[in-house]
Amino acid sequence: MTLLTVSRSAADRRPRTARLAALGAALLLTAGLSSTAGASPTRSHLPDPAAAARSVESDAEATTVLAVSIDGLNPNALTRLGRAGTPNLHRIMDEGASTLNARTEVELTVTLPNHTGMVTGRRITARTGGHGVIWNDDRKRPATVQAASGRPVESVFTVVNRAGGRPALFASKTKFLLWKRSWPLALKDTVIEERNGVLVTELIADLAQERSFRMLHLSLPDVAGHKHGFMGPRYLAAVRRVDRLVGRVLRAVDRSPALSQGLALLVTADHGGKGARHSVATSVANYRIPFLVRGPGVPAGSDLYELNPTYADPGRRQPSYAAARQPVRNGMLANLSLDLLGLPPVPGSEHDAGQDLEVTPPVAP
């Protein structure tokens, strides 16, 4: 059964737990996964993952998507630490398509507004069609994203659920309970646990279930940045630790041939950061983030901007939403995930609403 686990303090080793719901049986788009709910993944390894990816047709669809947001991950940390310090995140870049020069939402560079953009595909400002979530705490009013926006707002979770799937959320901050209040039918399976290692253990256990979409939120870099300064030694140590957690997930995927062949992995961040804070939305250190994609048909070692000439590498700028050629943004996570699953975009969304962000080369005529 799926638990909603809320750990109020990272130091509290006895989080309060409430049982929510039993997992469903067969879900959408998981034909290649284990046919028995709760069964352990087969423990075997694929040959060279890059070669395997190249052997898949370029229009192949994923059977399941795992979207990972690493809270407060400044892409300069990956450059600074290199492959030796962050081998698992570099492995994803080596085996897929990526950029270390993606962008946040324009309006704010803080956690909850940007994450809500990731799952709705919307900008932030409500009066121009955004989701309206401008706060970054556990407040209960407005109670839902819809109340903040003043209009109906759907998400990647509702689209997957409506198509017959049962999405899941694994988050390390209690503020994400906003999403469960906003989309309660779609987010029946939610785990909130501030201890990132425990959260990853929960996620890995869930990989045995037949499920088409999961989202994992990891907070270690952001927590360290706020306590000790972004891009400082303790922050970089936290990035190393979160890389090891990503490595645990990759090893779990490697043990299952079905997941190795059918899982698409997306990794991005809600903001960067440098020094004491990350809230100045006009600072490049705050709005520059990574965006990594690995999965069926994604060419190994490719650059997202080279794959997408209609999108523009912004250099050090933060283009407005009116710019003719947009950068890759974290808000594209929802519709790219749905595109990889062969599902339509989130209704009313803006970021990648045409699902034209390409992560596979075009099929040769």
User: What's the CATH code of the domain at 225?
Assistant: 3.40.720.10
- Indicate whether 322 belongs to any domain: no
Bridge partner list, 265? 66, 294
Task: Please compute the mean of the pLDDT values over residues 279-291 and round it to a whole number.
Answer: 98
* Per-residue pLDDT at 362: 72
**Residue listed under structure tokens 């901050």:** 173
- Indicate whether 326 belongs to any domain: no
- Indicate whether 11 belongs to any domain: no
Tens of pLDDT, residue by residue over 345-365, are: 999 999 999 999 999 887 666
- Indicate whether 249 belongs to any domain: yes
Q: Is the pLDDT of residue 23 over 70?
A: no
* Per-residue pLDDT at 307: 97
- Indicate whether 346 belongs to any domain: no
At 20, which helix (H) or strand (E)?
Answer: strand 16-21
Tens of pLDDT, residue by residue over 165-203, are: 999 999 999 999 999 999 999 999 999 999 999 999 999
Percentage of residues of the chain with pLDDT beyond 70: 83
**5 or 143, which is more confident?**
143
**10 or 255, which is more confident?**
255
* Per-residue pLDDT at 361: 81
Across the chain, what does the average pLDDT equal? 87
Tens of pLDDT, residue by residue over 26-80, are: 323 333 333 333 332 222 222 333 333 333 334 468 999 999 999 999 999 999 9
* Per-residue pLDDT at 141: 96
Q: Is the pLDDT of residue 327 over 60?
A: yes
Counting Cα atoms < 13 Å in the Cβ hemisphere of 199 gives: 30
Q: What range does the domain containing 272 cover? A: 44-302+332-340
- Indicate whether 171 belongs to any domain: yes
Q: Is the pLDDT of residue 164 over 60?
A: yes
- Indicate whether 129 belongs to any domain: yes
Sign of CA dihedral 257, 259, 262, 263: negative
* Per-residue pLDDT at 4: 61
* Per-residue pLDDT at 350: 98
* Per-residue pLDDT at 364: 63
**What are the angstrom distances between the C-alpha of 295 and each of 65, 146, 232?**
9, 33, 33
Helices 75-85 and 233-254 cross at an angle (nearest 10°) of: 60
Q: Determine how many CB atoms are found less than 10 A away from the CB of residue 190.
A: 24
Q: How many domains does the chain have?
A: 1
Q: DSSP of 264-283, one letter per residue?
A: EEEEE-S---BBTB---TT-
Tens of pLDDT, residue by residue over 188-244, are: 999 999 999 999 999 999 999 999 999 999 999 999 999 999 999 999 999 999 999
What are the structure tokens assigned to 207, written together?
């990989």
For β-strands 302-303 and 189-192, DSSP reports them as: unpaired
pTM: 0.85
- Indicate whether 324 belongs to any domain: no
Q: Determine how many CB atoms are found less than 10 A away from the CB of residue 204.
A: 17
For β-strands 302-303 and 97-103, DSSP reports them as: parallel
